[in-house]
Amino acid sequence: MAKLEFFYDFVSPFTYLANAQIPGIVTRSGCQLVARPFFLGGVMKATGNAPPANVPAKGAYMFGDLGRWARRYGVTIQMPSVFPFNSLKAMRGAVVAGREDRERVFRNACFHAIWADGIDVSSSDGLGLIAERAGLDPAAFLAAIERQDVKDELTANTNEAVERGAFGAPTFFVDDSEMFWGNDRLDFVEEALRG
């Protein structure tokens, strides 16, 4: 069985679009999905990369490009009122959810809350609401995301991705070897999974 690792950060709109394609890829390829929360801000800092919108013309183009992909996929997307927003607590939340065996449901709920519902996940109110939607106790969840071992796990994921060559999001690895970057490489990912 082929293995697909998916490094994600909720702040990335192209990762939201890619995440919506994951179930189809898993079903068609029969791969094992290993979804890994990481912190894109840390990846950017470590690699010297910068968000596309730092180049104004690229940022302006990106919004139209996102809209075309969303229409192709039949996925709703709207830019959050604050962008980029601080995704650090939400990413720690994904680590916590993983320990409760609810990574998948939390990931999907959080991406949808941000990119379809416009919920602010940099606030405890917003994040608690998503935890609740994912079947987690909000108070326990909000306490857990402040724990050092949770912070350390997210940092370790981020460092591992960088060591393996990542510089942006989403980043995919097929069978621990070939790396793919971007929603627009999902067709290559699926080809690699088919071997």
Q: Which residues bind a copy of itself (CB under 8 A)?
A: 47-49, 54-58, 60-61, 64-65, 68, 162, 165-168, 178-179, 181, 184-185, 188
Dihedral sign for Cα 141, 19, 63, 91, please.
positive
Of 57 and 101, the one with the shorter C-beta distance to a copy of itself is: 57
Of 119 and 161, the one with the shorter C-beta distance to a copy of itself is: 161
Is 123 among the catalytic positions?
A: no
Rounded distance between C-alpha atoms, residue 113 and residue 87, angstroms: 13
Q: Answer for the pair 121, 114: CB distance below 8 angstroms, yes or no.
A: yes
| Residues in CB range of 102: below 8 A, 6 or more apart | 134, 135, 136
Rounded distance between C-alpha atoms, residue 114 and residue 120, angstroms: 7
Q: How far is the CB of 30 from a copy of itself (least distance, A)?
A: 22
Of 39 and 106, the one with the shorter C-beta distance to a copy of itself is: 39
Of 105 and 179, the one with the shorter C-beta distance to a copy of itself is: 179
Rounded distance between C-alpha atoms, residue 54 and residue 45, angstroms: 14
3-state helix, strand, coil in the chain (%, to 5): 60, 10, 30
| Residues in CB range of 180: below 8 A, 6 or more apart | 171, 172, 173, 174, 186, 188, 189, 192
Of 61 and 83, the one with the shorter C-beta distance to a copy of itself is: 61
Quote the tokens at residue 135: 């079947």
Q: How far is the CB of 66 from a copy of itself (least distance, A)?
A: 12
Q: How far is the CB of 156 from a copy of itself (least distance, A)?
A: 18
Catalytic residue among 12, 29, 122, 177: 12
Q: How far is the CB of 160 from a copy of itself (least distance, A)?
A: 14
Residue 47 φ then ψ, to 5°: -100, -10
Q: How far is the CB of 38 from a copy of itself (least distance, A)?
A: 14
3-state secondary structure of 37: strand
Active site residues: 12
